[in-house]
Amino acid sequence: MKARLPKEYQNRGANNMNSMIKQAQKMQAEITNVQEEIENETFTATTGGGAVEITMNGRKQVQSLNIKPEVVDKDDVEMLQDLLISAINECVKQIEDTSEAKMGAVTGGVSFPGLF
C-alpha cells in the first residue's frame, strides 16, 4: 500500500531544498565579497614606540616597512629582529581578527574549516 500525503505537503521537501540552496548561494556570494574587501584593506602595526612600522594588505603581503635609523645598531641586531618580528606578528593578528569578525557576521558565527 502506498502512503499519500495531503496535497499541501507534497513537494514541500523540494521547496525547502531550493530555499536552502538559494541561502547557501547568497552566503557564498557574501563571503566572496568580504574576502575581497579584506584582501584590499591595509593594516599597519608599529613597535618600539614607532621605531618600526609595517603595512600589509589583507593577503598578508608586506606593502611597506619603515625603520627609524636610530634603532639600527650593528652591535644589537637582535633588538631590530625582535621589533620586526613583533610588528609582523601584530599586523597578521589584525588581519586575522578582522577576517574572523567580518566572516562571523556573514556566517552567523558558524566556522567553516579551511575557508578563513
Q: 79-106 pLDDT, tens per residue?
A: 999 999 999 999 999 999 999 999 888 8
- Structure-block grid coordinates of residue 82: 625582535
Inform me whether the pLDDT recorded for 2 exceeds 70.
no
User: Dihedral angle at the C-alpha atoms of 41, 90, 114, 18, nearest 10 degrees?
Assistant: -40
Quick: pLDDT tens for 11-65: 666 677 888 888 888 888 999 999 999 999 999 999 999 999 999 999 999 999 9
What pTM, to 2 d.p., does this model score?
Answer: 0.73
Give the C-alpha separation, 35 to 103, whole Å: 8
Decide if 42 contacts 19 (C-beta within 8 A). Answer: no
